[in-house]
């Protein structure tokens, strides 16, 4: 039986001011959840709460906790359905679903630990290394000329063994971003693929189409064009998808199988980027992955490589090197449980559960809300 659920919000500063197309990052808020059963076994989960949403997400964990307390910890799917029903009046999007996601991830971690298996194995997979790409390409003003900064970052990625890459677009003029894309293509030098992430930068289909066509002119073929429009613009993504050569990718903000059904039915993307920390946890991510498979779509999950490296149905995992100081979740982990990688592939931990552990000394210094 589930004996307790606790949550903590932490704010982890980025190494330097960092910009994408539509916002500036100073720190990132994560919510860490622990579920303890009546035998004293514990599972951990987490989610990203944006740049200011930690306390709100912790409050949502408290809102949902009564659904779980006293219930069988192994009934993960059943508890998900009960918790989702509980959100009917409090909100079925945003922080509430992120909180549900973190609790669900903790339950899966607990289940795998009790089975003595890595989560990947419990879910029917293996611990074989997973293909990954190096993500980054943010706008950092102190890195010198924009195109030169991209060249240096691609060189860094390649030195770490990665052949595939992703950079941001949409934060500068189309012409200036096109120069950055050209610089990335030059630095990759035919050894791998390049994806572009616009973070909802463009206000219309016509604007997004003009941008991607400019980027296509300086490349021989882009891997995908990510979130060119607002997540709400499902019809717009569908319209754009039939007008351009580059595959459209989206889904990192979308939550639950029902939103992804809308994307699939509209044919709005060739690549779905569901994030288990956002979309509803491992339980819901698996349902979305089955939906994608049924319609011949590929899954390239957003962020959280420590989690997504375990999940079946992905064709590639997004990886952020800790040295870049941007996706900084691994600062919260003990050194021996941080993500290992080699030759463009991520190792799947052979430890039970997610295979991660929090560095409590570090976490204690960064807590902003929730349990001390």
Domain boundaries, the chain: 2-116+361-370, 122-346
Q: pLDDT at position 21, please?
A: 74
Averaged pLDDT of the chain: 96
Contacts of 35 (CB under 8 A, 6+ apart): 2, 4, 5, 42, 43, 44, 45, 68, 73, 103, 106, 107, 110
Q: Is the pLDDT score of 157 beyond 80? A: yes
pLDDT band of residue 17 (cuts 50, 70, 90) is confident
How far is 330 from 313, CA to CA, in rounded Å?
Answer: 24
What six digits make up the tokens of 85?
Answer: 């029903």
Q: Residues for the chain: how many in total?
A: 372
Q: Is the pLDDT score of 372 beyond 70? A: no
Q: Is the pLDDT score of 241 beyond 80? A: yes
Overall average pLDDT of the 270-296 stretch: 98
Q: pLDDT at position 144, please?
A: 83
Q: pLDDT tens for residues 98-131?
A: 999 999 999 999 999 999 999 999 999 999 999 9
Q: pLDDT tens for residues 27-36?
A: 999 999 999 9
**Based on the number of CB atoms within 10 Å of its own CB, is 362 exposed (0-12), middle (13-18) or buried (19 or more)?**
middle
Q: pLDDT at position 234, please?
A: 98
Q: Is the pLDDT score of 355 beyond 70? A: yes
How far is 48 from 57, CA to CA, in rounded Å?
Answer: 9
Share of the chain above pLDDT 90, in %: 91
Neighbours of 81 (CB within 10 A): 12
CATH topology identical between 2-116+361-370 and 122-346: no
Q: pLDDT tens for residues 176-234?
A: 999 999 999 999 999 999 999 999 999 999 999 999 999 999 998 999 999 999 999 99
Q: Is the pLDDT score of 24 beyond 80? A: no
Q: pLDDT tens for residues 323-338?
A: 998 899 999 999 999 9
CATH code of domain 122-346: 3.20.20.120
Q: Is the pLDDT score of 63 beyond 70? A: yes
Nearest to 267 by CA among 283, 284, 247, 281: 247
**Can you name the residues that pair with 70 across neighbouring β-strands?**
none
Q: pLDDT at position 99, please?
A: 98
- The dihedral of CA 80, 85, 90, 92: what is its sign? positive
What is the residue whose two structure tokens read 């050894």? 191
Share of the chain above pLDDT 70, in %: 100
What is the residue whose two structure tokens read 């190096």? 134
Instruction: Name which CATH class applies to 2-116+361-370.
Output: alpha beta
Q: pLDDT at position 43, please?
A: 98
Choose the weakest-confidence range: 139-148, 190-199, 279-288: 139-148
Q: What SS3 state is found at 196? A: strand
Query: What's the angle, vertex CA 69, arms to CA 60 and CA 312, rounded to 5?
Result: 70
Q: pLDDT at position 245, please?
A: 96
pLDDT band of residue 25 (cuts 50, 70, 90) is confident
Q: Is the pLDDT score of 371 beyond 80? A: no
What is the residue whose two structure tokens read 């951990």? 44
What six digits make up the tokens of 152?
Answer: 């240096």
Contacts of 72 (CB under 8 A, 6+ apart): 1, 2
Overall average pLDDT of the 295-319 stretch: 97
Cβ distance 270 to 297 under 8 Å?
yes
């Amino acid at each position: 039986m589930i004996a307790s659920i606790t949550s903590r919000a932490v704010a982890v500063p980025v190494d330097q001011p960092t910009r994408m197309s539509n916002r500036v990052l100073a720190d990132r808020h994560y919510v860490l959840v622990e579920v303890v059963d009546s035998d004293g076994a514990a599972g951990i989960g987490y989610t990203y709460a944006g740049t200011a949403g930690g306390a709100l997400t912790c409050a949502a964990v408290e809102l949902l906790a009564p659904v779980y307390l006293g219930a069988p910890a192994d009934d993960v799917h059943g508890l998900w359905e009960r918790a989702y029903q509980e959100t009917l009046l409090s909100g079925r999007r945003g922080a509430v679903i992120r909180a549900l996601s973190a609790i669900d991830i903790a339950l899966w971690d607990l289940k795998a630990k009790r089975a003595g298996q890595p989560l990947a194995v419990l879910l029917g997979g293996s611990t074989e290394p997973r293909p990954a790409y190096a993500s980054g390409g943010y706008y950092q003003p102190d890195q010198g000329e924009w195109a030169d900064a991209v060249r240096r970052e691609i060189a860094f990625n390649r030195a770490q063994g990665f052949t595939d890459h992703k950079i941001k677009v949409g934060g500068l003029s189309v012409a200036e971003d096109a120069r950055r894309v050209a610089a990335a293509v030059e630095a990759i030098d035919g050894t791998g693929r390049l994806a572009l992430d616009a973070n909802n930068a463009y206000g219309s289909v016509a604007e997004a189409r003009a941008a991607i066509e400019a980027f296509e002119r300086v490349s021989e073929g882009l891997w995908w064009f990510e979130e060119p429009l607002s997540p709400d613009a499902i019809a717009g993504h569908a319209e754009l998808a039939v007008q351009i050569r580059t595959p459209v990718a989206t889904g990192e903000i979308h939550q639950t199988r029902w939103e992804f059904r809308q994307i699939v039915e509209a044919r709005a993307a060739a690549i779905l980027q569901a994030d288990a920390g956002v979309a509803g946890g491992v339980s819901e991510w698996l349902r979305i992955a089955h939906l994608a498979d049924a319609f011949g779509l590929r899954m390239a999950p957003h962020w959280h490589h420590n989690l997504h490296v375990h999940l079946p149905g992905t064709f590639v995992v997004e990886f952020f090197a800790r040295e870049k100081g941007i996706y900084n979740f691994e600062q919260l982990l003990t050194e021996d449980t941080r993500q290992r990688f080699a030759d463009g592939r991520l190792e799947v931990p052979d430890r039970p559960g997610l295979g991660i552990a929090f560095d409590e000394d570090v976490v204690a210094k960064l807590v902003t809300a929730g349990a001390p």
